[in-house]
Structure 1
């Protein structure tokens, strides 16, 4: 089966159960079919950028989107999320220590107004400088 152009290659649909096959099993199945998926098809030079990117995405999906690769993405996501939680907890601990320094020292009745103002400023600054950016930077799960 000598498929030469990207259009002919991308017209091929993988058989049922393809998603569950490992990379080695996929290569073996393609070899049995006599199908070679080249990095660059014969019409590579005539393709526009979008067509080239579509072909590369297709070949990646066909050859490299294996259960092992998906599991590795999940492990990397869990590792990133764990690191994010550690950093988030660290910043919350720093906030608690800072507020304890404001409220834990001195007598209960001294400068309560200033302590409330300092507390409000610290919480607002913490939210703007750390909490909101940390929520934006939170890792998202991989797309299957």
Structure 2
């Protein structure tokens, strides 16, 4: 855990010092060169049109996002490169632990797909089922 006085929030102004690689989890079938952009319905709540594209520096976190995403395709984790500034994801940052231990971020700029991970460390299927139930029940409002 990072003490509050050592953690510096990531913002579009200082994000250049954040090391990748970065990952995005979804069920969409994408190819290298494709751009992920904001302005589409959330992978978790179809009532919400997203103002940002979300990503993480942790493959397991992107795998969780892929498992949780709506849609018919198989869960996929893509290696992505931000094309502009980004910030800490306020949906998880400082929620349970100080700082951003999930290394989760969001950007108003597109993410460029540069590859796909073939495997990642999975979460327990029962955990996924419980989390889905909580999301479907309306818990976990998206800070957009």
Q: Per residue, is there more strand in 1 or in 2?
A: 2
TM-score, normalised relative to structure 2: 0.23
Higher relative contact order (CA 8 A, sep 6+): 2
Larger radius of gyration: 1
Q: Per residue, is there more helix in 1 or in 2?
A: 1
TM-score, normalised relative to structure 1: 0.23
